[in-house]
Structure 1
Amino acid sequence: MEEKRIIMDDKAVGRAIARISYEIIERNKGTDDICIVGILSRGAPLGKRIAAKLMELENNDVPFGTLDITPYRDDKTDDIPQDETDISFPVRDKNVIIVDDVIFTGRSVRAAIDALIKRGRPRSIQLAVLVDRGHRELPIRPDYVGKNLPTSHSEVVKVSVTELDGSDSVAIFLKEQK
C-alpha cells in the first residue's frame, strides 16, 4: 500500500479523545454507572485513554476493560483463537461505552455487542470511535465520533497508536490494484 495522506496527527488524536470524553460526560450527566470497553487491538488503548480522561475530569474511577471480538465475527469460522477479553467488572445495569478505532461496515461493532451481552445485560450500550469512514452494511451509528472521514472502497484507513505503533496518527492508503 502506498500512503496517500495523514488525516490526523498526534495532537488531533489527543483533541478527539478529549472531545469524546467531554461528550460522554455531558450525555451521561457525569460518569456514575459508566464503564469503558475497548475493542482489541487499537480500540483498547483509545478506550484506556478515554477512561483516564474521564477520571481526570470527573475525579471518579471509570472501570475499563478490553473486548476480543474474534470469536463473534461473522467472517471467521475456522481456528478461532482463545478469547482474550479482559473485563473484570460486571456490565449488568451499566452504561457501557464500546470504543473502537474505525467504524466501517458495522460488523465489528455487531460482534462487540454480541460479545458484551454474553457477559450481562447492560443498561445501555454506546459507541465511541476515533474515525467514522461510512459505508455501513448494518444499521449501526456511533454516539461519539472523533472525525467523520468519507472514503471510497479503494481506500484503507490506518490508525496508529503510541502503545502499539510508537506514535499516534490516522492515515489513508490506497489499496493496491490487482
Structure 2
Amino acid sequence: MEKRIVLDDKAIDRTLTRISHEILENNKGAKDLVLLGIRTRGEFLAKRIQSKIERIDGVSIPTGVIDITHYRDDVTDRVSPDVIAYDIDCDLSNQHVVIVDDVLFTGRTVRASLDAILDHVRPKRISLATLVDRGHRELPIRADFIGKNIPTSTNEEIVVMLDEIDEKTQVYIK
C-alpha cells in the first residue's frame, strides 16, 4: 500500500504551536501546568510543546514521561501499586496535567495513562493533547487539544515520525 503524507515537518511545527497556544489559553497561562508525554513519541511531542510554551509565555513548565506498559488492558500481569509509571520532577497533586500522545485511536492507551496517574495522585485536572485523532474509539475518551482529525479506515495505519527517533518528521497514512 502506498503512503500518503498528511503532515510534513513544517505542518507539525505549526500544529504544535497552535496546540501550545490552546493549552495556555485553556489553562489561563502556565500556572500549575504539567505535561506528561506517553512513551515514545508523546514524550518528544511533550518536550516540543514545553519549548513552545516557554517561548510564548516565558515559563518552563514541568514535563515528564509516562510509561503505560503495565497498565494496558491486554497485559495480564498487573503492576505493583508501588511502581510509579511516570517520571517527572514535581508533584502532580493539584496540577493541571496534560497527557500528550501522537495518535488517538481506540482510547485504550489514554485509559491506561489515566490509571497510571490516578493510582498514585489526584491532579486538579487532566487533559489530553494529541497530534492526530483518527477516530474508531472503543472507550468514551476524547482529546481536548487535537492537532489534526484524520478519518481513517481500520485497515489504514497512521505513522508518526519524529526527528528525535526517526530519520525525519512527518505523519503519513499507509
Give the TM-score taking structure 2 as reference length. Answer: 0.94
- CA drift of 1:70 comes to 0.5
For structure 1, the 5+ residue unaligned runs are: 174-178
- CA drift of 1:83 comes to 7.1
Cross-structure match for 1:7: 6
Cross-structure match for 2:96: 95
Per-residue deviation, residues 35-57 of structure 1 (Å, max 9, x unmatched): 00000000000001101111111
**Structure 2 CA distance, aligned partners of 1:127 and 1:53?**
17
Q: How does 1:49-128 map to 2 (within 5 A)?
A: 49-77=48-76, 85-128=86-129
Give the TM-score taking structure 1 as reference length. Answer: 0.92
Does the aligned pair in 2 maintain the 1:68–1:83 contact within 8 Å? no
Amino acid at match of 1:61: S
**Structure 2 CA distance, aligned partners of 1:120 and 1:138?**
23
- CA drift of 1:3 comes to 3.4
Query: What CA RMSD, in Å, does the superposition of the two structures yield over aligned residues?
Result: 1.6
For structure 2, the 5+ residue unaligned runs are: none
Does the aligned pair in 1 maintain the 2:70–2:78 contact within 8 Å? no
Amino acid at match of 1:31: A
Sequence identity, in percent? Answer: 50
> SS of 2:46's equivalent?
helix
Does the aligned pair in 2 maintain the 1:38–1:45 contact within 8 Å? yes
Amino acid at match of 2:39: L
User: Which region of structure 1 is more displaced relative to structure 2, 163-172 or 63-72?
Assistant: 163-172
**Structure 2 CA distance, aligned partners of 1:96 and 1:106?**
17
Does the aligned pair in 2 maintain the 1:92–1:121 contact within 8 Å? yes
Q: CA 1:5 to 1:37, structure 2 compared with 1: closer, same or farther past 3 Å? A: same
